[in-house]
């Protein structure tokens, strides 16, 4: 029960941004396609916010191979300010290869803006649709590696189980990105657990009226620095139960306001494909 029954190898197209002092940001090309966003009614742990399922058409884009690391964060945080100051070393659990955490949604947006200024390519947070499409990588199961999850595959509170899974190691801290050696078929790591990842969208209680083109869902203007209220977090974290690590899981509680800074909040970045091929 809950054992690893198969490992596969896949190839992906990628490019690297050199951020200085040997620090590299690896980006993976995600081919466009269509998928059902949200969870089916019979999925264990499903919440109403994951419904109704909707068919979304996603243009190709590039996304970070890993969550943004502390080394990557520091390299960008020392660049000239665009709209707000950034702490070069905000994380509670220190380590260059660990994901950056204790960063707000606004901090993540500033990081993307500075990265855009440095590279002359358009970087931003992923939309919810892009994030879920990238996480699923063509799968329809609760996790990209199957029906359940174990602490040999991801970093979460393994005192708790999901479906036929078994209890495992609760590490009580972040782990170095990619340390489990488990990527999905798109070549992305740590999509389940480690740190919750900020998305670009405004929070909505369900998918009624959600865009079907993969774009971020905004209620008002798209001036990011003027936005108020709650953002959206995806992927689960080292702190949370496995049910929150599902591909479809999305949440935004009181502590998920855009200004929130917690030890399990991080992010990864998206790059618009048009700015790469110019």
* pLDDT single digits (tens) 198-223: 999 999 999 999 999 999 999 876 78
Domains identified in the chain and CATH numbers: 14-275 (3.90.1580.10)
- In this predicted structure, the answer to whether residue 255 has a pLDDT above a threshold of 70 is no
Please compute the mean of the pLDDT values over residues 52-61 and round it to a whole number.
Answer: 98
Q: SS3 for the chain, per residue?
A: CCCCCCCCCCCCCEEEEEEECCEEEEEEEECCEEEEECCCCCCCCCCHHHCCCEEEEECCEEEECCCCEHHHHHHHHCCCCCCCCCCCCCCCCCCCCCECCCCCHHHHHHHHHHHHHHHCCCEECCCHHHHHHHHHCCCCCCECCECCCCCCCCECCCCCCCCCCCCCCCCCCCCCCCCCCCECCCCCECCCECCEEEECCCCCCCCCCCCCCCCCCCCCCCCHHHCCCECEEECCCCCCCHHHHCCCCEECCHHHECCCCCCCEECCCEECHHHCCC
Distance CA 226, CA 35 (A): 31
Query: With bands split at pLDDT 50, 70 and 90, how would you rate the model's confidence at 191?
Result: very high
Provide Rg for the chain, Cα atoms.
17
**pLDDT bucket at 275, cuts 50 / 70 / 90:** low
Q: Which of the four pLDDT bands, split at 50, 70 and 90, describes residue 276? A: low
Cα angle, residue 92 at apex, residues 136 and 132 outer, rounded to 5°: 10
The model's pTM is 0.94
What pLDDT is recorded for position 8? 43
Which residues have a Cβ under 8 Å from the Cβ of 110 and sit 6 or more positions away?
A: 81, 82, 83, 84, 86
Residue 193 confidence (pLDDT) above 50: yes
* Averaged confidence pLDDT in the chain: 93
Rounded-to-integer distance, Cα 143 and Cα 247, Å: 6
């Amino acid at each position: 029960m809950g054992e690893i029954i198969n490992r596969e190898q896949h190839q992906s197209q990628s490019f690297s941004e050199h951020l200085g002092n040997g620090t590299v940001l690896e980006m993976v090309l995600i081919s466009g396609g269509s998928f059902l966003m949200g969870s089916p009614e019979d999925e264990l742990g499903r919440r109403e916010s994951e419904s109704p399922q909707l068919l979304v058409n996603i243009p190709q884009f590039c996304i970070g191979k890993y969550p943004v690391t502390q080394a990557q964060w520091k390299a960008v945080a020392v660049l000239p300010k665009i709209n707000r100051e950034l702490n070069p070393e905000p994380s509670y659990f220190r380590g260059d290869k660990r994901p950056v955490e204790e960063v707000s949604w606004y901090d993540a947006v500033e990081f993307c803006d500075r990265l855009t200024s440095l590279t002359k390519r358009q970087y931003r947070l992923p939309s919810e649709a892009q994030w879920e499409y990238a996480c699923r990588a063509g799968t329809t199961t609760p996790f990209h590696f199957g029906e359940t999850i174990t602490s040999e595959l991801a970093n979460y509170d393994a005192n708790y189980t999901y479906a036929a899974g078994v209890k495992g190691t609760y590490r009580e801290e972040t782990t170095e990105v990619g340390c489990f050696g488990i990527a999905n078929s798109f070549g992305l790591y740590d999509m389940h657990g480690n740190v919750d990842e900020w998305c670009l969208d405004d929070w909505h209680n369900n998918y009624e009226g959600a865009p079907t083109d993969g774009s971020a869902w905004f209620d008002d203007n798209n001036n990011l620095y003027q936005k108020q209220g709650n953002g959206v977090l995806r992927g689960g974290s080292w702190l949370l139960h496995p049910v929150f690590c599902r591909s479809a899981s999305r949440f935004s509680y009181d502590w998920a306001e855009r200004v929130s800074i917690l030890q399990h909040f991080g992010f990864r970045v998206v790059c618009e494909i048009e700015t790469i091929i110019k």
